[in-house]
Structure 1
Amino acid sequence: MNLPLTPHTFVDIHNNPMKNTTKISILHTCIELFSNAGYSAVSIREITRNVGIKESSLYNHFRTKDEIIETIYTNYRLEFSRILPSMEILDELLTKMEPEAFMQQGFTLFKMSYNNPTIEKMWRIVQIEQFRDVRARNIYLDDISNNTLLFVEQVFQKLIHMGKMKPLDPADLAAVYQYPVFAMMIEYQILKCDHKDTSLLEKRMNNHIHRFFQNYSTS
């Protein structure tokens, strides 16, 4: 279930002097508070106190507290979607790059994205809320899991057609490749949250990608 991009559920989270700075400040404050304590534990009073505005002023920018978290979910979905290249440029990338290098670059882009503190905090909100809020569950199941798995399947289908991978079921190959990646990405995010060293995990991820293409590429 995709969240609609309406004026009420999308706010550009990136600081821009031409944008509504108070609304952005409210959103960033909520990202910080919700990521630390969870949505339910944060009151409107706490939000406005941290922003430095009156409680009544918040409703000039967001109709409800729920609209704020829906806005966070929408922004997270948009930020996550930017990690994956569009289908329009996928063929060109796969023609120019070796399969292993392409997938290694995907992991690099993921790391770059989650080195952004705001995106890291939004991910934390999704993780905290997924057992309480169906919208957070849908982000995890649809965007993070199913859509990414489908993307990898499409990549492998194209690589098989190009003769760069063995002619096996691309859906099965995507599952073999991606489910260990899911687990390691979650571990990476947890380590980053705790400010712990990720070098060993990154080595494991690189080894997984290398071994996979040793087994399934045709080169």
Structure 2
Amino acid sequence: MEQLNDTKRLIIETSLRLFSEKGFNSTSVREIAREVGVRESAIYNHFKSKGEIINTIFHMYGIGKARIYIEQMMNDEKFLDDPYHFLKHIALDEILEIICNKEFNKFKRIVVMEMFCEENARYIIEREIFDQTRGLLREIFELMAKRQVIKNHDPAVLANEFLAPLGLVNLEHLIIGSEDGDEKYYKDQIESHIDFFWNAIKLD
């Protein structure tokens, strides 16, 4: 990632907030400049257009935390030896961070709002969720079944079953948001999901 000077960093941070609150099309370069505290011409010293700003945001935030974490799980013998303990006591906090991180949620709101009209937003969803994250989870469940840690279910179905409730929790958080202290509400939902899912797939 390129090293950003203070003004360029502030433009990106301000644009991230405004795009997530109002949408890309409803946010003007003039408004971004006013919020940053610079002239509109100063924005164009750093970015050729508003489109270049959002493309920079997509580039900076577009690598999914979930995918990176799943790749680490696949190479962690502790996870493969005791998946339930790992999910309940380690992965839970990572999943909560992905869902509740305030800055990352601004980016996710932009992606959700723009996914039907912005190619980069649609690409991020297709690549990060449908292709890579779901594909890696499928590989994990296939490996767990081979090790006889879980029942021999279709790993593609298991990947969908694990991801879908987390997506619902994530969507609720994006739409409703949360005040300080509400994080426990989402943590309880994720924990209940992990318990329910594990009890359904574990070997008796």
TM band (smaller chain) = 0.7 to 0.9
Q: Is the aligned partner of 1:120 residue 2:105?
A: yes
Write out aligned runs for 1:36-185 (5 A): 36-78=21-63, 80=65, 84-86=69-71, 90-96=75-81, 98-104=82-88, 105-185=90-170
Q: Does the CA contact (< 8 Å) of 2:141 and 2:159 recur in 1?
A: yes
Q: Does the CA contact (< 8 Å) of 2:19 and 2:110 recur in 1?
A: yes
Q: Does the CA contact (< 8 Å) of 2:96 and 2:187 recur in 1?
A: no
User: Which string of whole-angstrom CA distances, capped at 9 and with x for unpartnered residues, describes residues 77-112 of structure 1?
Assistant: 22535752435862434235x222333433421322
Question: In 2 relative to 1, CA 169–85 (structure 1 residues): closer, same or farther, beyond 3 Å?
Answer: closer
Percent identity over the alignment is 30
1: CA distance between counterparts of 2:185 and 2:38?
45
Match in the other structure for 1:16? none
1: CA distance between counterparts of 2:35 and 2:173?
30
Question: In 2 relative to 1, CA 211–79 (structure 1 residues): closer, same or farther, beyond 3 Å?
Answer: closer
Amino acid corresponding to residue 83 of structure 2 in structure 1: P
Match in the other structure for 2:9? 24
Residue-pair matches, total: 202
76-85 or 165-174: bigger deviation: 76-85
User: Which string of whole-angstrom CA distances, capped at 9 and with x for unpartnered residues, describes residues 98-135 of structure 1?
Assistant: 22233343342132244432212111111121222122
Q: Select the structure that is richer in helix.
A: 2
Match in the other structure for 1:195? 179
Amino acid corresponding to residue 188 of structure 2 in structure 1: K
Q: Does the CA contact (< 8 Å) of 2:67 and 2:136 recur in 1?
A: no
User: Which string of whole-angstrom CA distances, capped at 9 and with x for unpartnered residues, describes residues 130-184 of structure 1?
Assistant: 2221221222232134322112111111211222112222112222222222222
Q: Specify every segment of 5 or more residues in structure 2 that has no aligned partner in the other structure, as ranges.
A: none
2: CA distance between counterparts of 1:189 and 1:210?
24
Q: Specify every segment of 5 or more residues in structure 1 that has no aligned partner in the other structure, as ranges.
A: 1-9, 13-18
CA RMSD of aligned residues (A): 2.5
| CA displacement at 1:41 relative to structure 2 | 0.9
Amino acid corresponding to residue 119 of structure 2 in structure 1: V
Q: Does the CA contact (< 8 Å) of 1:79 and 1:119 recur in 2?
A: no
| CA displacement at 1:27 relative to structure 2 | 0.2
| CA displacement at 1:71 relative to structure 2 | 1.2
1: CA distance between counterparts of 2:13 and 2:195?
39
2: CA distance between counterparts of 1:198 and 1:117?
11
160-169 or 33-42: bigger deviation: 160-169
74-83 or 134-143: bigger deviation: 74-83
Question: In 2 relative to 1, CA 79–51 (structure 1 residues): closer, same or farther, beyond 3 Å?
Answer: farther
